[in-house]
Chains A and B, each alone.
Chain A
Amino acid sequence: MKKRNPFPILPYPHLLGIKDLSKTTILALLDRADATVAFSHKHKKSLLHGKTQVNLFFEASTRTQSSFEIAGKRLGANVINMLIGNSSIKKGETLIDTAITLNAMSPDILVIRHSSAGAAALLAQKVDCSVINAGDGAHEHPTQALLDALTIRRTKGKIENLIVAICGDILHSRVARSNILSLNTLGAQVRIVAPSTLLPTGIEDMSVTVFHSMTKGIQDADVVMMLRLQHERMIQALIPSTREYFHFYGLDREKLKKAKPDCIVMHPGPMNRGVEISSSVADGPQSVIQTQVKMGIAVRMAVMEALLDSQRER
């Protein structure tokens, strides 16, 4: 007989964004993920045995999709990857019709990535199972923020009062929004470094300090988080050239010297080497980019476990 958890970590059956999570909830998820890291590389019991997890990726993804797939499989779930390229979505079916169709097949967890902000929330209204937002437009990417927090906590031992500089294309970045929310909730000092054309309106009111100079922005930072320059979303020419961008905002060894000597360098991937980050830094001793990928699986396992707990409670 399964043990019932009287206090589920997640109060809701979905994980749509960091915005809905309290500090306690985030910390509890991190603790659970922390405990999972040790054996996240092998099959863990069979918590999700007999459960069906559907990965619905409307946008191309390598690491997030495979991370969710591996996390699900290591928990014993049956994982189905919907191939959008071959499906009826290509034939003009709307997101809601797809959701209703999938819902009729009674999955337990839906993992969705979509190019439109709010797509995950829309889906969650129409299905009976748990929905995990794996990135919706420029809105949120909660599991990325959780794995980033876990990476920071494991390398630095804490998050509170650390100086974290998030650098680059904030405007198009869901990772930035989720990280601003989670790092602020966890008590870090968040800095934003970017040219003004890559910043959303009202960024100053998001509890961050804004810098337009990289050297000033990463001065004494404990963590430098680089973001990918999202060429595919750049509808207009927001920057004149990648050459100029790298000169002023690309992270190289020289600029990194401004940060604290033990500063760690993060990147959610995929990287544009030579655009926002130089190879010498990306592969250098301060880089924790591979750790982030590893933490990704642990965090996603923890999230799925927590969602099933809260499902049982409903």
Chain B
Amino acid sequence: MKPILLKNARIVDPSRNIDEVGHVIIAEGKILAAGNEVRNQGMPDEADIINLKGKAIFPGLVDARVFVGEPGAEHRETIASASYAAATGGITSFIMMPDTQPVIDNVALVEFVLQTAKEAALVNIYPTASLTSGMNGKQITEFGLLKEVGAIALSEGKKTIHNANLMRLAMTYARDFDMPIIHETQDAELSAHGVMNAGLMASWLGLSGIPREAEVIPLERDLRLATLTGAQYHASQISTAMSVQAIGYAKEKTKNVSAGVSINHLTLNENDIGEYRTFFRLSPPLRAEEDRIAMVNALRDGIVDIIVSSHDPQGADTKRLPFSDAQPGATGLETLLAAALRLYHNGLIPLTRLIDSLSTKPAKIFGLDAGTLKPGASADLIIVDLHEPWILKVDRLNSCSKNSPFENIHFQGRVLATMVKGKIVFYSHGLENIKNASLSYKKYQGNKV
């Protein structure tokens, strides 16, 4: 395999705090060198050279919250189709939530996901396993064995562990195996029958509200238990200013907690629901503008560590219903970077911090070989035009499901090519030469089903 030389791009590598114009050299699926100093080095012979003047290179994005329909709901998304959508969106690694049918709660199912990913996926897929057997909230799963076969974290997916003592037990046991716990908190009773953020808007629409307290009460419980047990705890996606406070307070006490926010809660608010638009029905619900601003500030300041897509494919059967009957969830793999770049273009988040929260930081939290352009790292990177304007048409999405809240939205900035382990897995117009540049093009083979 010939080495590849990517020339004259703006290289952003938060792992080394680099934002400079330079070259990247890739060989044998690894990064040989990346940065400004490469310009003065000797080039490998016979390298394929691609000039990327005016373009940017980031480490590939790492998405820590992705729902896939396989096994059980392959019409919504398969592992293969999710990986294709991820590649299109510049995501080179994602963490798969265990909310499938059946639930990923045992060794065989983790192996199934890894095997399917190996055969069909374009990007790296890291499975999580459920905290409790069948997500029943009663009996913890075999953390140790699950880790041995490749589960990278434990998560109850969309569910919240109700029993505080069980949560304490799970954290205590998970700590022994260095298994992070990814948890989303929403009190089942406080949020019962709620379908959107509690407030004036919900009241006018005649919809039941979910108060912010439903999120922060179990979150505070978890944070105290994490301090008590010393377990590595990651708040899957928070949505309120109160939760930011709780995380900030816990971080003063302990180093083992982290938090994520979905791109939706950074860029949308409850007003987007308008006249009952079900694509904006999410869980946690879209909150008020004050909460959105608090989330952006918390991300900038590092209280919230990472951005997730919360990719949750839903079909017409679950979305073309009255608002309160529709399922929550939105696709996000293909729009994650473009939507996040709004925060950069608006001057709210510096580019290095943005890429850190989308790539370097999640890789660090979950111990993945990703999120960096350091020499010797796996060549997972993306080539981006930071300024190209485009409009999202849902029928162009590569995901099997089209429930994007960004339908017909104007974006600025687009992924031009995605490379995983030195292989190009996605490229768009204008970069056809990247395909010709190397024989390492890996193509989407379609859904297995």
On A, residues with C-beta under 8 Å from B are 19, 94-96, 114, 116-119, 121-122, 136-140, 174, 177, 200-203, 205-206, 235-236
Contact = CB atoms under 8 A, between A and B. Distances in A.
A201 B200 contact: yes
Nearest to B273: A118
Contact of B276 (A94, A117, A235, A236): A117
Nearest to A94: B321
Nearest to A19: B204
B324 to A, nearest CB: 5
Nearest to A122: B322
B209 interface: yes
B214 interface: no
B411 interface: no
A206 B322 contact: no
A205 B200 CA distance: 7
B242 to A, nearest CB: 16
Interface string B293-324: 00000000000000000000000010011111
A117 B276 CA distance: 8
Contacts of B320: 94, 96
B281 to A, nearest CB: 11
B322 A114 contact: yes
A137 B206 contact: yes
Nearest to A235: B193
A29 to B, nearest CB: 21
Query: Which residue, B193, B207, B211, B317, has most C-beta atoms of chain A within 10 A?
Result: B207
B43 interface: no
B205 A117 contact: yes
A94, A118, A136, A177: most-surrounded residue (chain B CB, <10 A): A118
A14 B445 CA distance: 48
B323 A118 contact: yes
Contacts of A95: 321-322
B198 A136 contact: no
A139 B206 contact: yes
Interface string B177-202: 00000000000000011000011111
A95 B324 CA distance: 13
Contact of A122 (B204, B206, B276): B276
A116 B200 contact: no
Nearest to A203: B203
A219 B412 CA distance: 59
25 contacts: A94-B317, A95-B321, A95-B322, A96-B321, A116-B324, A116-B325, A117-B206, A117-B322, A118-B275, A119-B322, A121-B276, A122-B322, A136-B206, A139-B205, A174-B206, A177-B206, A200-B202, A200-B203, A201-B198, A201-B209, A201-B211, A202-B200, A202-B203, A203-B203, A236-B192
Given A174-B206, A203-B203, A206-B204, A118 B322 contact: yes
A94 B315 CA distance: 14
A268 to B, nearest CB: 15
Contacts of B207: 117-118, 137-139
B227 to A, nearest CB: 32
Contacts of A140: 206
Contacts of A200: 202-203
B206 A201 contact: no
B199 A138 contact: no
Contact of B199 (A117, A139, A202, A236): A202
Interface in B340-375: none
| 3 pairs of A and B residues whose beta carbons are closest in the complex | A202-B200, A118-B276, A139-B206
B203 A201 contact: yes
Contacts of A137: 206-207, 322, 324
Nearest to A97: B320
Given A121-B275, A137-B322, 19 more contacts: A94-B317, A95-B321, A96-B320, A116-B322, A116-B325, A117-B276, A117-B323, A119-B322, A122-B322, A139-B205, A201-B199, A201-B202, A201-B209, A201-B211, A202-B201, A203-B203, A206-B203, A235-B193, A236-B192
Contacts of B204: 19, 177, 206
B33 to A, nearest CB: 56
Contacts of B211: 201
Q: Which of B205, B207, B320, B324 has the most CB of A within 10 A?
A: B205
Interface of B: 192-193, 198-207, 209, 211, 275-276, 317, 320-325
A117 B324 contact: yes
Contacts of A205: 200
A95 to B, nearest CB: 6
Instruction: Report which residue of A19, A138, A236 has the largest number of chain B beta carbons within 10 angstroms of its beta carbon.
Output: A138
B205 to A, nearest CB: 6
A114 B275 CA distance: 16
A203 B198 CA distance: 12
Contacts of B203: 200-203, 206
A118 B323 CA distance: 7
Contacts of B198: 201
A118 B206 CA distance: 8
Given A94-B321, A235-B192, A118 B205 contact: yes
Contacts of B324: 116-118, 137
Contacts of A201: 198-200, 202-203, 209, 211
Interface centre among A19, A96, A200, A205 (most CB of B within 10 A): A200
Contacts of A235: 192-193
A191 B272 CA distance: 30
A232 to B, nearest CB: 14
B283 to A, nearest CB: 18
B30 to A, nearest CB: 52
Contacts of B275: 118, 121
A96 B278 CA distance: 13
Nearest to B211: A201
A121 B276 CA distance: 8
A205 B288 CA distance: 15
A202 B200 CA distance: 5
A116 B202 contact: no
Nearest to A136: B206
B318 to A, nearest CB: 10
A96 B322 CA distance: 9
A191 to B, nearest CB: 17
A74 to B, nearest CB: 31
Contacts of B321: 94-96
B213 to A, nearest CB: 12
A177 B95 CA distance: 44
A177 B211 CA distance: 21
Contacts of B193: 235
Contacts of A116: 322-325
Nearest to B202: A201
Contacts of B201: 202
Contacts of B206: 117-118, 136-140, 174, 177
